[in-house]
């Protein structure tokens, strides 16, 4: 008969009660993740279509209880803004259900804390969204966007740690992959930096500060002196576009430079993954997926400029950015797990929850 290993993993304080129990938490977290991504896309459409203040009151909708607002009045921007609110309410409910089943079925204390963090996150997100409306502050929208994508990443982590791969120990004791964790973390930090700049640009609700790509007003780094800005704004006025400031141009340039640096980090990660890991290793697939997603994101950014910020293109650019942020969170988490020599199986229970004497 086998013996039970009683060592505790730093990421697991108690075995899952059963495969079915873990499956419930996993499925609810997965549903929440998909719904959150849909909410992010709808939120992006709200901003891209200029519908952010189509409903000027909160938590009511034109004086109605938001759940009783007549469908006949869902017209124009109201449709997008009100849909966003209802979907957000649904995700709040899913998050409460997730916390409930986690505390009911999950025995790992740290996973329960992740569920608590999700509840705090979704409540905070709702409050920020409400304050954005009641205080009429575009700056709040920047934090609202960043928290939304962080919440999405958190739900993906909960989904992962309640899945078979994590519970089987496959995410642990992988020195080759773990050696790249700091590089991937740097990529995640830069992704958040890019997210902050992008959210700032989007919530300015201004026309494109730089109208050409890959050049910027015909050069790599445009002249933003007073005389140059006068010429630039004369050209924009001729095309019936609002004037642009030097700070807006610099913000766009910073975003472009950040994309180049991030691409270099991602390519370096992929090259090192190929060099350090064997054929078929998960790290190769994840890093190559990262490269492809970044290249597609840069292309969408270019099309956003070439299409003069077409709403659907700009929203696609934002949505892929959300996926990249969440992917970076999950990627970083997995690599730090890989640096641990303890597997989840070391708690003495198999994935099915059976302890053999």
Q: Is residue 233 part of a domain?
A: no
What mean pLDDT comes out for the span 305-327? 91
Task: Judge whether residue 22 has pLDDT over 70.
Answer: no
Task: Judge whether residue 353 has pLDDT over 50.
Answer: no
Q: Is residue 32 part of a domain?
A: yes
Domain count, the chain: 1
Contact yes or no for 97/113 (Cβ under 8 A): no
Report the b/e string of 33-68 with b at 16+ CB within 10 A.
bebbbebbbbbbbbbbbebbebbeebeebeeeebee
Q: Which domain holds residue 61?
A: 19-221+243-347
Q: Is residue 318 part of a domain?
A: yes
∠ CA 332-341-117, nearest 5°, is 45
Q: What pLDDT was estimated at residue 11?
A: 56
Q: Is residue 157 part of a domain?
A: yes
d(CA 102, CA 113): 9
Provide the 8-state DSSP code for 347.
Answer: G
Q: Is residue 9 part of a domain?
A: no
- CB proximity list for 10: less than 8 A, separation 6 or greater: 340, 342
What mean pLDDT comes out for the span 72-94? 91
Report the b/e string of 294-329 with b at 16+ CB within 10 A.
beebbebbbebbeeebebebbbbbbbbbbbbbbbbb
Contact yes or no for 262/297 (Cβ under 8 A): no
Q: What pLDDT was estimated at residue 351?
A: 36
Q: Is residue 293 part of a domain?
A: yes
């Amino acid at each position: 008969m086998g013996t039970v290993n009683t060592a505790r993993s730093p990421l697991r304080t108690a075995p899952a009660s059963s495969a079915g129990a873990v499956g419930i938490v996993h499925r609810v977290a997965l549903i929440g993740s998909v719904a959150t991504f849909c909410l992010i896309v709808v939120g992006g459409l709200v901003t891209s279509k200029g519908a952010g203040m189509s409903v000027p009151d909160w938590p009511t909708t034109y004086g109605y209880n938001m759940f009783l607002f007549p469908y006949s009045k869902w017209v124009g921007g109201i449709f997008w803004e009100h849909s966003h609110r209802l979907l957000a309410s649904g995700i709040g409910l899913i998050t409460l259900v997730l916390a409930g089943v986690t505390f009911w079925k999950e025995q790992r204390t740290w996973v329960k804390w992740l569920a608590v963090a999700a509840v705090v996150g979704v409540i905070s997100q709702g409050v920020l969204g409400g304050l954005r409306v009641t205080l009429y502050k575009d700056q709040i929208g920047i934090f609202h966007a960043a928290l939304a994508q962080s919440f999405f990443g958190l739900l993906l982590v909960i989904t992962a740690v309640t899945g078979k791969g994590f519970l089987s120990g496959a995410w642990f004791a992988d020195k080759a992959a773990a050696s790249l964790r700091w590089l991937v973390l740097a990529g995640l930090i830069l992704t958040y930096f890019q997210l902050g700049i992008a959210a700032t640009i989007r919530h300015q609700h201004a026309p494109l500060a730089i109208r050409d790509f890959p050049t910027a007003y015909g050069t790599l780094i445009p002249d933003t002196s007073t005389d140059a800005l006068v010429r630039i704004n004369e050209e924009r006025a001729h095309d019936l576009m609002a004037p642009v400031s030097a700070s807006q141009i610099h913000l766009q340039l910073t975003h472009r430079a950040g994309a180049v640096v991030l691409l270099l980090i991602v390519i370096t990660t992929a090259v090192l993954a190929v060099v350090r890991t064997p054929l078929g290793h998960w790290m190769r697939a994840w890093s190559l997926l990262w490269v492809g997603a970044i290249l597609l994101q840069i292309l969408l950014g270019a099309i956003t400029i070439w299409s003069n910020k077409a709403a659907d293109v700009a929203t696609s650019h934002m949505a892929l950015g959300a996926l990249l942020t969440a992917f970076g969170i999950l990627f970083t988490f997995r690599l730090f797990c890989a640096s641990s020599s303890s597997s989840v199986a070391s708690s003495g229970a198999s994935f099915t929850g059976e302890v053999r004497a």
